[in-house]
Structure 1
């Protein structure tokens, strides 16, 4: 882990530009070069410790050693998460609000979402059959947004539905961007927060009625540890933290389609499958394709790990992409092999595309929903529609965060497969 008791250090004044250049591979590349799962660098003028691998992930999610407060840059809060949102909380405040998020993810509520999502896929297919070409990312973004709003108790305005879906996507697009793409994400967040803040206030005033089981109701009437309702803007921010991640599943829908196209030998297995192989395929898509590059935290107090001294206040980055591609954890890690999950032990610190540890911590509350939504998408792409994939550039640049092919995956002549029965769930 360390050599002669010394932690490897990058010999550079600042690696911020290198981070933008290398993107997802920034930490993993240096881990390979230094033959170490820990190294020190400087980012935005600050000392930073980069770690990766299963043991590093287990360390990172030890809440007695790390906190999220102060670790997420304001530029990311103002585009992706929202200022002072749940991702920035620690301790009892985080646990209390996380319980509210997790209450929305019961099996019953997830089954409701699956039904709504299938309805949106069916409606989308009817539209697609009339089109010569379909750009899958944009279309899946809209259908996911529609399903998310219906499930969460948020009204849909047909005149603005595509624009609002694109705003949700723009927040995600801003994560690893500078310049116009980042500015667009911040503008999208301001518009969306203002809209949903007004909706929260209308809910509280009784202008709208929604089921108590919905996210809109939960956010509007959630009470904090001091038995106070959330500020209306904060309630709107947390409602976005339900809707936006669901819309972001559009990236995984594209990755599902890419995997089917790049590895067509799996189509026959999926067609004959009753669900088990579909689960393996989805998990391998989550492992193989780039989604989250890394996560950050700050050290609460001085401690020693693997011969390295972690000092209070130091920024620490966990290599998410590198951990899901680590050859010490995954046999033939650079290959797409769904079968690897047949005997996987479901460890909380190796398959971490949406964070690690337990769901009472900072692991994504929507992970189960993401897997269900991907299984629905895979069922439609593999078994329920036929389409052609015209020549296009499907390369994924690891320097682009979030990763997405330039073409957004174009399909031609989309049509329903003849003889396909009613959707029967995932």
Structure 2
């Protein structure tokens, strides 16, 4: 392992901010969303450079020191940072991701209150239950696409956990809507508009539920996300309006279903690196499952970058950051930074055996402090469900992997195997 102290990792480049010479780099970013910032950074010899993306001047950052800078809330804000197409699909308008200062702290506390060990374990138990039921169905079919099937498993589990009623005849529809918000968020053309439409319909569904809870027409347990969001009092002393409450309830459901991306990547890792299977089978205390999950999150692509805006003028590494400028932090490249990770292009779960948690070198779901900053509050849920999925995939069910195209589509957001990872289940 490399040093755990991110402050000991040198930043690259000093002096005036270098520029990507293109008139606009949107197409370059679209062609190589996971590699664009890292490659330009290496070419320019700097962890910071200026580009133009979607016709807007954008400062691009990569590396642990840059991540530490990016999560300095005195220098950066989230209001107005995310492109409108992502607000209309992935995040929703008015959600916690676009808040700052007290408004963000109060709203974030609402999410953190759901992340107790007992509640996370309860979701894990529901996930195992649904996986077991699904595996028996999968065994009746010649083969199934794991990416599609796991999204339904997660939809069933998280809706029940969150106190969101889900009738059997609407499972497919809600799975499709929740999936489209993240699986098609980076798409263009008809797929993008389908993602927008899916969010619109899902917000109607969740907004209606919030209104019925408030009216006493539906009773849900007090420790669920549906109850917590419906009765949350915001920084202004008022309850959230129904539309914003729907956005925030979806900010519990959607990211949980998106864990399907990591789970299918776990399956890919076990197939590509079969030596990882035995430690998981012998994993009495769950340590190896934890290391494996962390390495999948570090090694595999999820979302490539995150954005903010400069709050006030400042200088860093000799580069000037003007107020209002959009800034993009390279998540994938930071997770593969050779200054922080020894042999970063090798898949080695055991690297986490002596790893001290570092909020700026491992940033697949954002960096910094989840309780007070913009790091994803669902990271603990992600790890718990990934550990449980790893045990299922390593030995909890008997399956074969038929020939297929398992190339990771690195031009797709999020990147998953082109086949969706097809399996033939023999028994569970």
Task: With the length of structure 2 as denominator, give the TM-score of the two structures.
Answer: 0.96
Match among 286, 289, 296 for residue 300 of structure 2: 289
The residue aligned with 2:231 is 221
Q: Over aligned residue pairs, what C-alpha RMSD do you find? A: 1.1
CA contact under 8 A between 2:233 and 2:239: conserved in structure 1? yes
Tell me which stretches of 4 or more aligned residues in structure 1 moved more than 6 Å: none
Distance 1:2 1:25, change over 3 A: closer
Match among 68, 79, 82 for residue 78 of structure 2: 68
The residue aligned with 2:337 is 326
The residue aligned with 1:384 is 396
Distance 1:4 1:104, change over 3 A: closer
SS in 2 for 1:23: coil
Match among 270, 289, 292 for residue 260 of structure 1: 270
SS in 2 for 1:230: coil
Distance 2:54 2:279 in 1: 48
The residue aligned with 2:385 is 373
CA contact under 8 A between 2:14 and 2:317: conserved in structure 1? no
Distance 2:358 2:129 in 1: 33
Q: What is the CA-CA distance between 1:174 and the residue it aligns to? A: 2.6
Q: What is the CA-CA distance between 1:74 and the residue it aligns to? A: 1.4
Describe the superposition over 1:10-37 as per-residue Cα deviations: whole angstroms up to 9, x where unpaired.
Answer: 1111101111111111111111222221
Describe the superposition over 1:139-187 as per-residue Cα deviations: whole angstroms up to 9, x where unpaired.
Answer: 1000001000010000011112012111111000232211122111101
CA contact under 8 A between 1:78 and 1:186: conserved in structure 2? yes
Distance 1:263 1:394 in 2: 13
Describe the superposition over 1:31-71 as per-residue Cα deviations: whole angstroms up to 9, x where unpaired.
Answer: 12222211111111211110111110000000000000010
Q: Which consecutive unaligned segments of at least 5 residues does structure 2 have?
A: 1-10
Distance 2:228 2:84 in 1: 26
1:101 aligned onto 2:111: yes
Match among 57, 63, 77 for residue 53 of structure 1: 63
SS in 2 for 1:182: helix
Q: What is the CA-CA distance between 1:399 and the residue it aligns to? A: 1.5
Q: What is the CA-CA distance between 1:397 and the residue it aligns to? A: 2.4
The residue aligned with 1:204 is 214
Aligned residue runs from structure 1 range 281-320, under 5 A: 281-320=292-331
The residue aligned with 1:251 is 261
Q: Which consecutive unaligned segments of at least 5 residues does structure 1 have?
A: 417-426
Aligned residues: 416
SS in 1 for 2:425: strand
Aligned residue runs from structure 1 range 3-14, under 5 A: 5-14=15-24
1:413 aligned onto 2:417: no
Distance 1:255 1:161, change over 3 A: same
Distance 1:3 1:276, change over 3 A: closer
1:40 aligned onto 2:50: yes
Q: What is the CA-CA distance between 1:370 and the residue it aligns to? A: 0.3
Distance 1:112 1:154 in 2: 15
Match among 347, 350, 357 for residue 368 of structure 2: 357
Distance 1:182 1:413 in 2: 33
The residue aligned with 2:35 is 25
1:175 aligned onto 2:185: yes
Distance 2:363 2:86 in 1: 20
